């Protein structure tokens, strides 16, 4: 087998050095009742060529995006990825390297992640970003735990318009603790209803998503003021970071912790994972932050370099008192995001964000013109909710056969939103695609 270099001769020599007669004797210490009583029942090993064929067969049973027009976002976004990013990310010095605990041999990773931290902090308007979490959902859970640690209060308010999966993950992280989550409902315009906050008592944080799951832009400044007045931190999360290429960033609106999903920046959708948990806060809270941090330093010859720092927060030192249990994170995905942002640049990102927004506005306009109701009046970025007539499910299915996926039905997540669909338009959907969709769905 090409991954196993040992020849019969190698094995014989090594067994002699070790002082055992055969490979099985290496396992002499294993009690027989722990042992496998039979050979592993696995399919016969495939050659590389058989594997190619098998995997191509499985991949063919997927709605490959070039044929299909998928109008869904909801936490996973179809964006173009430059080939330069794909090739750079494939460099095996990045791919096959370990966590940079030995800085002298890992300056590539360390400088790249320091750059990532800087770009993310600037982009979100915060003072410090970490080296990544697993995804937007777990990043939000960790942000709420961080706010609880900082404030020493045990209740958080979480908007119902935060991504349903993120809320479920928060609930799971909280399920074995005494911490409480209070749900904040939404208003008719699609934004959060702040009026419930004063009655909630002592809150560690108020957490909202913007743009929210309905695609609506929340009034972060007003929410921040209400949160701070209630003595709570403002946690802002997102699932589509490209929105901040256009909108005012959360830091400028008073956010204390910002977290979310970074998949839009150069990471393939890949059926939902791996993603990129972006996480940022301000220096006054830095010792409470989870995850790795890369810092600037010098070597003995005053040469600039980078190291992992403030590691005393982490599990390998602080163990049960650590700020989080995270070890392996989303590093290569963070690298992809940094490469993507470096390639787009500030102006390029603004143009891309405007294009996403304007295309989505076009679809909204055309659908409205065709008689489709868009229930939420708040401004949106590249996603919005449309209310289709009863029985739209069969239209949706008919369209799937035509290789169009016309949005995500919301009823499973919001029972009050029967026949409501969440639609997304990115730069990858053309005017022609949208005109076809409108033609097919007009009531």
Partner 1 sequence: MKEFPGDTGLILNEPLLWEKGRRGRCGMSLPRRDVQPSPLPDDLIGEVPDLPELSEVEVVRHYTRLSTWNFGVDTGMYPLGSCTMKYNPKTNEKQAALPGFAGAHPFLPARLAQGALTLMYELELLLAEITGMDAVSLQPAAGAQGELTGMLILHAYHRNSGSPRTKIIVPDTAHGTNPASAALCGFYPVNVRSNEQGILAPEAIAAVMDEDVAGIMITNPNTLGLFEENIRQIAEIIHRKGGLVYCDGANMNAVMGTVHSGDSGIDVQHLNLHKTFSTPHGSGGPGSGPVCVRKDLEPFLPVPRVIRQGDEFALSDDFPFSIGKLHAFYGNFGVLVKAYSYILSMGAELKTASSYAVLNANYVKEKLKDVLHLPYDRPCMHECVFSDRFQKEWKVSTLDMVKRLMDYGFHPPTIYFPLVVPGAIMIEPTETESKEDLDLFIDAIRSIVREAESKPELITEAPKRCRVGRMDETEAARHPCLTG
Partner 2 sequence: MKEISEVNLPEDIRYNESHEWARLEGDSVRIGISDYAQDSLGDITYVELPQVGDVFHKGEEFGTVESTKAVSELFMPVGGEVTAVNTDLAEAPELINQDPYAAGWLLVVKPEAPEEMESLLKSEAYREMVGGLE
Residues numbered 290-309 forming contacts with partner 2, rule: CB under 8 A: 309
- Beta bridge mates, 187: none
Q: Please check whether residue 69 is in contact with residue 405, taking contact to mean a CB–CB distance below 8 angstroms.
A: yes
Q: Is 112 helix (H, G, I), strand (E, B) or coil?
A: helix
Question: Taking CB under 8 A as the criterion, which residues in 270-329 touch partner 1?
Answer: 270-275, 283, 286, 292-301, 303, 305-307, 309-312, 314-322, 324-329
Closest among 269, 251, 253, 183 to 218, alpha carbons compared: 253
| Candidate residues 21, 37, 394, 416; the one interacting with partner 1 per rule CB under 8 A | 37
For tokens 């003021």, name the residue.
225
Q: Does 31 bind partner 1 (CB under 8 A)?
A: yes
Q: Which does 368 bind (CB under 5 to 8 A by kind): partner 2, partner 1, none?
A: none
Please identify, among the stretches 26-34, 147-155, 189-197, 367-375, the one whose residues bind partner 1 according to the rule CB under 8 A: 26-34
376 exposure class (CB count in 10 Å sphere: 0-12, 13-18, 19+):
buried
| Candidate residues 143, 169, 194, 255; the one interacting with partner 1 per rule CB under 8 A | 169
Please identify, among the stretches 150-158, 183-191, 384-392, 424-432, the one whose residues bind partner 1 according to the rule CB under 8 A: 424-432
Minimum CB separation of residue 350 from partner 2 in Å reads 40
| Candidate residues 226, 246, 258, 278; the one interacting with partner 1 per rule CB under 8 A | 246
Q: Which does 377 bind (CB under 5 to 8 A by kind): partner 1, partner 2, none?
A: none
Q: Is 57 helix (H, G, I), strand (E, B) or coil?
A: helix
In the DSSP assignment, the letter for residue 328 is S
Minimum CB separation of residue 164 from partner 2 in Å reads 38
Q: Please check whether residue 125 is in contact with residue 250, taking contact to mean a CB–CB distance below 8 angstroms.
A: yes
Binding mask 319-358 for partner 2 (x = CB under 8 A): --x-------------------------------------
Minimum CB separation of residue 199 from partner 1 in Å reads 27
Sign of the C-alpha dihedral computed for residues 227, 231, 237 and 241 taken in this order: positive
What's the token pair of residue 21?
């007669």
Which are the contacts of 218, defined by CB distance < 8 A and separation ≥ 6?
A: 159, 161, 191, 192, 208, 209, 210, 211, 212, 378
Closest CB to partner 1 among residues 375, 379: 379
Which are the contacts of 39, defined by CB distance < 8 A and separation ≥ 6?
A: none
Q: Does 317 bind partner 2 (CB under 8 A)?
A: yes
Closest CB to partner 2 among residues 84, 297: 297
Size of residue set near partner 2 by CB under 8 A: 7
What's the token pair of residue 363?
């679809």
Question: Taking CB under 8 A as the criterion, which residues in 2-61 touch partner 2?
Answer: none
* HSE of 154, CA atoms in CB hemisphere, 13 A: 6
Closest CB to partner 1 among residues 98, 188: 98
Q: Does 375 bind partner 1 (CB under 8 A)?
A: no
Helix (H) or strand (E) holding 331: helix 331-369
Q: Please check whether residue 220 is in contact with residue 247, taking contact to mean a CB–CB distance below 8 angstroms.
A: no
Q: Which does 176 bind (CB under 5 to 8 A by kind): partner 1, partner 2, none?
A: partner 1
What's the token pair of residue 191?
């934004």
Closest CB to partner 2 among residues 182, 311: 311
Closest CB to partner 2 among residues 146, 227: 146
Alpha-carbon distance of 326 to 199, in angstroms, equals 35
What's the token pair of residue 339?
């490469």
Minimum CB separation of residue 285 from partner 2 in Å reads 14
Strands 128-129 and 304-308: unpaired
Binding mask 254-293 for partner 2 (x = CB under 8 A): ---------------------------------x------
Sign of the C-alpha dihedral computed for residues 404, 80, 421 and 278 taken in this order: positive
Question: Residues in the site for partner 2, rule: CB under 8 A?
Answer: 287, 309, 311-312, 317-318, 321
């Amino acid at each position: 087998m090409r991954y196993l270099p040992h020849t019969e001769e190698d094995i014989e020599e090594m067994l002699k050095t070790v002082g055992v007669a055969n490979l099985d004797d290496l396992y002499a210490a294993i009690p027989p009742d722990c042992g496998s009583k039979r050979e592993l029942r696995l399919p016969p090993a495939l050659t590389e060529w058989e594997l190619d064929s098998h995997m191509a067969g499985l991949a063919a049973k997927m709605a490959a995006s070039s044929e299909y027009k998928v109008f869904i976002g909801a936490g996973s976004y179809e964006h173009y990825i430059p080939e330069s990013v794909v090739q750079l990310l494939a460099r095996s010095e990045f791919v096959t390297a370990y966590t940079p605990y030995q800085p002298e041999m890992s300056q590539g990773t360390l400088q790249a992640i320091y750059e990532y931290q800087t770009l993310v902090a600037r982009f979100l308007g915060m003072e410090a970003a970490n080296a990544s979490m697993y995804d937007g959902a777990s990043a939000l859970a960790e942000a709420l735990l961080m706010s609880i640690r900082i404030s020493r209060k045990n209740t958080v308010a979480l908007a119902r318009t935060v991504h349903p999966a993120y809320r479920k993950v928060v609930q799971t992280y909280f399920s074995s603790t005494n911490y409480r989550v209070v749900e904040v409902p939404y208003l008719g315009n699609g934004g959060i209803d702040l009026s419930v906050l004063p009655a909630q008592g002592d809150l560690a944080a108020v957490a909202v998503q913007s743009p929210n799951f309905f695609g609506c832009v929340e009034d972060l400044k007003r929410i921040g003021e209400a949160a701070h007045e209630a003595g709570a931190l403002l946690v802002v999360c997102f699932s589509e970071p490209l929105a901040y290429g256009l909108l005012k960033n959360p830091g400028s609106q008073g956010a204390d912790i910002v977290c979310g999903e970074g998949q839009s920046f150069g990471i393939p959708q890949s059926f939902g994972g791996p993603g990129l948990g972006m996480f940022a806060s301000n220096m006054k809270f830095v010792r409470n932050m989870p995850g790795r941090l890369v810092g600037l330093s010098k070597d003995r010859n005053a040469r600039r370099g980078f190291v992992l720092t403030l590691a005393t927060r982490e599990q390998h030192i602080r163990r049960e008192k650590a700020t989080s249990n995270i070890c392996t994170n989303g590093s290569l995905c963070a690298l992809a995001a940094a490469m993507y942002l470096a390639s787009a640049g500030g102006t390029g990102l603004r143009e891309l964000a405007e294009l996403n927004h304007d295309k989505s506005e076009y679809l909204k306009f055309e659908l409205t013109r065709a008689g489709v109701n868009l229930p939420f009046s708040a401004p949106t970025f590249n996603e919005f909710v449309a209310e289709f007539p009863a029985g739209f499910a069969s239209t949706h299915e008919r369209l799937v056969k035509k290789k169009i996926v016309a949005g995500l039905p919301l009823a499973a997540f919001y029972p009050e939103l029967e026949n409501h669909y969440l639609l997304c338009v990115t730069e990858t959907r053309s005017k022609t695609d949208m005109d076809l969709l409108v033609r097919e769905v007009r009531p």
